[in-house]
Structure 1
Amino acid sequence: MMLFIMATVGHRGLWVRASSAASPDSIPEIISLAEEMDITDIYYQAVVGGYAYYRSELLPRSQYLTRLSGPDYDPLERLTAEAHARGIRVHAWVNSLLVWSGEEPPESTSHIFYRHPEWSVKDVLGRAMFGYSQKTWSFYGLDGLFVDPALPDMRAWLAGVCLEIAIRYPVDGIQLDFIRYPGTWWGLPEREESSMFSLPESEELRWMELVRYPTLPFSERYKVWHFWRLNAEREASVYEAVRAVSDTLRSHPATSCPRLSAAVWANPPAAGFRVAQSWWRWEGAVDYLAVMSYTQDTGTFSDYLDFALSVRPEAVFGIGFLWPNMEAEAREEEAAVLSRGGAGVSFFDYTRLVNEVDRDKLLGKKPAGEPRKSKESLGAIRGAFSDPPPRGLVGEGRGLLVAGEDEAFGDWLLRLSADRERDLKRLGLTREAFYENLRDDVAAFKALDMAIFPVGDVLLSPPGREISFAFLPFAGEDPEAVKKRAKDVKELPLDTIIYPKALDPLAKAVFSAKRGKREICLAPDGVYVFEVKREISAGKKVRRKDIPRELLPVYIGWTIKARLDRALR
């Protein structure tokens, strides 16, 4: 059988993590692999975890880098020189808003963690992420601790870091990574509406896509509409952070204005809803996007590819070797980019290409086999708008509609799909019918707002559960061993009152437990053994000033819930 080397697209990138170039001996190996793979662009991770892997006056030098290679070695300088000598472009890859993801707090006292704790993103309960332990953010499925792009000083700091690199090094580009919020319930504006999501049931709305919205109960669609309005501010903050970097690089006379790119989530619902990274609206802010279309499902990759090219034709596409034996899929994905006229691809990452990928198969020097195909069937979805808004509310709200507001909401929902026409067809809706239903929804939402907001100074107390409990911290011990030990706990020496809160596994367990029955709850930092002793009724009127600050979002959320339930009776 004759084998052919696959024709490659114009841009062929390679992401190289900071640690991969932390030793001078690693540079020739990186260059050798880049030449073998016909790499045109290297993205080197110059900023990670709030530390610099280059000479910086704004960031502390990576202690790992210093311990491994001494205080003078500069991996960005060395890699750029060696790559340029071979005609390979180098981009400084900057982890932008993710500033720490270690098990212990940063060592350097000049780290952003200590210098600007006020920049921390807050969750829907008002807690600063910088107060999370590693186990807590990991429990929530997050990447680490983030700073908030809503803050102008923080945006200026990020722009300054990128400018410092552009001035000091002849890099061909700057790439922003983690230029997003950490998740759905982080970074919402500090307003009453945000407290709608402070209760446990709101966690069911932590993800959203076009095909899901019409199947939700009307009351849940009301929450999604409010999230859209709140999320618009998160989207604007992320965009302003990108814009700050772009404007700074383009306006400074000391730079040659390297190209600015951003690594972005490929899945539109996840990018737009969960992390407020609406990159399809970043026109003029970046020169191009690197769409992290990491999947071994070639059908899903094709969806990501088609969507991205329809809105950002200059995009390059990330191929991530996150699964074993995916050389055949990677070849097909690169071929798909080429066949559709895409600008190029970028491989994630150098370490995996060295240790886990059969490069002979990837380059077509020997058979790679057949790529795996998707087994998922995208069938019809029944029940679209089967819970219509109350007609009385629709009538009340018609006169409250702001011109274009319902269309803007609909446009946003349509963006929560990689193939909107296909998904509307699955829902059994024409575009006209979709917008017609939304007009009724939004009219009713506006009428509900008149009945619910402003919340006012007197709030309704949420229900409570008084529990006796014992807490067994993990303290480095295997969680399963601690959980097993929890079954033998005899005494419950502590007492407290638990309220229904989002992002709180103990609250979720307590409100699901039966009174008088001992239960075990796995939490981020340990195991609770508890028993519900008393149930406390909701509905007591309490003045805002008399409510503990940490419980205020829950009181506001419960008051909104009670008014919503009453309005829909």
Structure 2
Amino acid sequence: MRPSFFNTGRLFFVIALIIILTVISFLKYGNSQSPLQESKIKSRGVWITCFSEHRVLYSTAAVDELINTCRRMKINEIYLQVYRAGYAYYDSKIADRSKYEDMIKTAGADMIEYLLKESAKHKIKVFAWANILSLSQNKDTDIVKKYGESVLTRDQYSRISIRTENIDDNDKYYLRENQIFLEPGDFRVADFTVSILEEITARYPKLSGIHLDYIRYPYPVPYSPSSKFINYGLIYGYGENSVNSFKEKTGLDPFSLAGTKDGFSLWDNWRRDQVTNLVRKISSHLKAKSPGLLISAAVIPAPFTAYSVSFQDWPLWLEEGIVDDVILMNYTKDLGQVKNITKSALSHRGKGRVLAGVGVFLMKDKPHLFAQQLNLLESLNSDGIVFLSYDDLGKM
């Protein structure tokens, strides 16, 4: 039986169609980009914790790996944790430098200097990230050794903030943060904080900026929106020196203001001012010596909650220009929450930028959700994005 011309032609057609579809499939999927590479958001940052599994400050190879990752993902801002729980992960003469000594022993040199040199080659900014008021669970810090526990903030029951101490019946109903907080209304805390940050910027003059974390009062759950409800929630700011200063200035006792018409608002504003005054002091001191230094802060994302619960009036900080950027700690998989909080926050840009913190650690197994969140932030015209954290980016 002779082969049919039509059968042969059909075979050629099928083969050609398969080849064309294969090429199209390759062009569409074989060379596809990650959601991060496709995003048009230009300002991109990454937080690098001092306990990162990549051990960034322990070798030149780890620094090189970080730089390569940033270049590949178009990240142009690095937030490097150098001060946490009273420990210095930098060359300090003030704070406990045992962690830094461990790094030097392993690396053979100061890797912060190496990172600054290498990042400058690729126009990547480096911010020194410092935990300001949180001591984590470490009571054995230099400032507590020097002044005692009077520098710690307390709730209305005179308890420090860590949930494992002074447990009573109230702890059945409220969850305290599992860390110790310093009292921002204590001048000794302010002076010590400024000395740490001045030391960092003097030692590493090539830094682009300082990143302030935990620049707030503790955040209990559930929270009380005002000290007017002192009998119904946990409220912080009752540190010894701050209470005494308030009494001297107003003649009022913050422990007995519940139910008063205006006294509680005076006390709330007082505590809010203590946090803002600390930011002002940090900003003015650092910029007096380094005018081009940027001041950034990680903040509670919802403006009202930040204002009324943790007394972190970051919209005012941006309005006054005492910070250049805030980064919203809006770590969630809920796109509705991302949208609503980001839209609200972006209306408070003031003189600076509002960047969106993205909780990559929540979406390691959900790349589609990660892509949706990036697309949403892009559509909202966020001033930038910052990823928490470096360890999780490579798993996306």
TM-score for the superposition, normalised by structure 2 = 0.73
* Partner Cα separation in structure 2 for residue 77 and residue 173 of structure 1: 15
Query: Matches of residues 272-351 of structure 1 in structure 2 within 5 Å?
Result: 272-282=307-317, 283=319, 284-312=321-349, 314-324=353-363, 325-351=365-391
Query: Matches of residues 358-437 of structure 1 in structure 2 within 5 Å?
Result: 358=396
Residue 293 of structure 2, aligned match among 258, 272, 280: 258
Q: Confirm or deny: 8 A CA contact 1:100 1:144 kept in the other structure.
A: yes
Q: CA deviation at 1:332?
A: 2.5
Residue 274 of structure 2, aligned match among 228, 237, 251: 237
Deviation track 1:450-472 (CA, whole Å, cap 9, x = no partner) reads: xxxxxxxxxxxxxxxxxxxxxxx
Structure 2 counterpart of 1:494: none
Residue 148 of structure 1 pairs with residue 148 of structure 2: no
Structure 1 counterpart of 2:155: 123
Q: Could you say what secondary structure the match of 1:293 adopts?
A: coil
Q: Could you say what secondary structure the match of 1:145 adopts?
A: coil
Q: CA deviation at 1:299?
A: 1.1
Q: CA deviation at 1:76?
A: 2.3
Residue 194 of structure 1, aligned match among 231, 251, 255: 255
Q: Confirm or deny: 8 A CA contact 1:249 1:257 kept in the other structure.
A: no
* Partner Cα separation in structure 2 for residue 123 and residue 182 of structure 1: 9
Cα separation, partners in 2 of 1:223 and 1:13, compared to 1, 3 Å: farther
Residue 18 of structure 1 pairs with residue 55 of structure 2: no
Residue 53 of structure 1, aligned match among 89, 114, 121: 89
Cα separation, partners in 2 of 1:307 and 1:225, compared to 1, 3 Å: farther
Number of residue pairs the alignment of both structures matches: 323
Q: Could you say what secondary structure the match of 2:51 adopts?
A: helix
Amino acid at match of 2:255: S
Residue 98 of structure 1 pairs with residue 131 of structure 2: no
Q: CA deviation at 1:196?
A: 5.9
Q: CA deviation at 1:135?
A: 8.9
Cα separation, partners in 2 of 1:111 and 1:334, compared to 1, 3 Å: same
Structure 1 counterpart of 2:306: 271
Structure 2 counterpart of 1:113: 144
Structure 1 counterpart of 2:70: 34
TM-score for the superposition, normalised by structure 1 = 0.52
* Partner Cα separation in structure 2 for residue 297 and residue 78 of structure 1: 39
Percent sequence identity over matched residues?
A: 26
Amino acid at match of 2:44: R
Higher strand share: 1
Q: CA deviation at 1:300?
A: 0.7
- 4+ residue runs over 6 A deviation: 134-137
Q: CA deviation at 1:42?
A: 0.3
Q: Could you say what secondary structure the match of 2:155 adopts?
A: coil
Structure 2 counterpart of 1:157: 192
Deviation track 1:29-64 (CA, whole Å, cap 9, x = no partner) reads: 222222221100000001111111111122111x34
Residue 174 of structure 1, aligned match among 210, 235, 258: 210
* Partner Cα separation in structure 1 for residue 360 and residue 42 of structure 2: 21
Q: CA deviation at 1:293?
A: 1.6
Q: CA deviation at 1:119?
A: 1.4
Q: Could you say what secondary structure the match of 1:186 adopts?
A: coil
Q: CA deviation at 1:153?
A: 2.7
Deviation track 1:200-251 (CA, whole Å, cap 9, x = no partner) reads: xxxxxxxxxxxxxxxxxxxxxx589765432211110110111011100121
Q: CA deviation at 1:294?
A: 1.3
* Partner Cα separation in structure 2 for residue 89 and residue 22 of structure 1: 17
Amino acid at match of 1:116: Y
Q: CA deviation at 1:124?
A: 1.1
Q: Confirm or deny: 8 A CA contact 2:48 2:389 kept in the other structure.
A: yes
Q: Could you say what secondary structure the match of 2:135 adopts?
A: strand
Gap regions ≥5 residues in structure 1: 198-221, 359-569
Amino acid at match of 1:89: K
* Partner Cα separation in structure 2 for residue 304 and residue 75 of structure 1: 37
Q: CA deviation at 1:68?
A: 5.4
Q: CA deviation at 1:333?
A: 2.5
Give the alignment's Cα RMSD to 1 decimal: 2.8
Q: Confirm or deny: 8 A CA contact 1:124 1:195 kept in the other structure.
A: no
